[in-house]
């Protein structure tokens, strides 16, 4: 992943593609790095990018969606939104980041906030005043995931699944037995009737002869 995290300096680096959101960068920027450092949150690609102080960050959402925009399609599954307040104006940065790395970024941000006595960041969708994009996902296919949900999902995937027994098809009790046709039934009934007649007629003939 190319990322490093320090509990003391709260340093975090993760490969990221910027999608949209910052007024200074109206176009996507691919192949960059999103860095969380003591000074703030920085996106950089070959010296071009933008930054925000940690006090400006108001919320963060991490999902497993793959970002799709006109002229841009992410190469990784993972979508992170960062909500900021700058000069009284709400801004939402959108990044294509691997979901696991995005979750670690959120945990690191919250660890920094807890160290200074502040509450963890809410999801962007829980904030008001951030416009329609704050309440939507990248593709609408997945809901926001908390770090705890990401860990539970990974543990569930690693858990061995029980093998399913093949379904046993039960045949009807009379299946395989040969059924008589109407003609065959008539022949059987005729043979039985003939035997009954013979049993009656033969004794009568014997009595007459005697």
The pLDDT, as a whole number, for residue 166 is 56
Q: How many domains does the chain have?
A: 1
For residue 5, being part of any structural domain is answered with: no
Closest CA to 19 of 79, 63, 89, 105: 79
What is the per-residue pLDDT for 74? 77
Contact 80, 142 (CB under 8 A): no
In a domain, 171, yes or no: no
Residue 72 maps to a domain: yes
In a domain, 189, yes or no: no
**150 occurs within a structural domain:** yes
Sheet holding 29-37, edge to edge: 48-52, 40-45, 29-37, 12-20, 89-96, 79-86, 57-63
pLDDT attached to residue 7: 39
How far apart, in whole angstroms, are the C-alpha atoms of residue 206 and residue 209? 5
Q: What is the CATH number for 43?
A: 2.30.29.30
Q: Is residue 179 part of a domain?
A: no
Domain that includes residue 129, residue range? 12-157
Q: In the prediction, which pLDDT does 57 show?
A: 93
**Rounded distance, CA 208 to CA 168, Å?**
67
Spans of the chain, pLDDT less than 50: 1-8, 135-147, 150, 154, 157
Determine, yes or no, domain membership for 7: no
Give per-residue pLDDT as tens, 133-178. 554 433 333 344 444 554 555 455 456 656 656 555 555 555 555 6
Residue 37 placed within a domain:
yes
């Amino acid at each position: 992943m190319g990322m490093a995290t320090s509990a003391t300096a709260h340093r975090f680096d993760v490969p990221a593609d910027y999608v949209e959101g910052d007024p200074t960068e109206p176009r996507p920027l691919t192949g960059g790095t999103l860095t969380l450092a003591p000074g703030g949150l920085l996106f950089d690609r070959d010296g071009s990018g933008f930054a925000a102080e940690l006090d400006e960050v108001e919320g963060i959402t991490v999902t497993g969606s793959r970002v799709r925009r006109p002229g841009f399609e992410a190469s990784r599954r993972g979508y992170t939104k960062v909500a900021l307040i700058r000069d009284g104006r709400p801004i939402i940065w959108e990044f294509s980041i691997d979901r696991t790395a995005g979750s670690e970024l959120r945990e690191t941000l919250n660890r920094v906030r807890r160290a200074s006595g502040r509450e963890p960041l809410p999801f962007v969708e829980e904030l008001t005043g951030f416009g329609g994009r704050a309440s939507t996902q990248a593709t609408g296919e997945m809901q926001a995931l908390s770090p705890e949900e990401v860990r539970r999902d990974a543990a569930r995937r690693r858990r061995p699944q029980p093998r399913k027994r093949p379904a046993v098809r039960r045949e009807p009790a009379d299946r395989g037995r040969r059924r008589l046709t109407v003609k065959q039934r008539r022949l059987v009934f005729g043979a039985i009737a003939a035997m009954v007649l013979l049993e009656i007629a033969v004794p009568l003939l014997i009595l007459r002869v005697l």
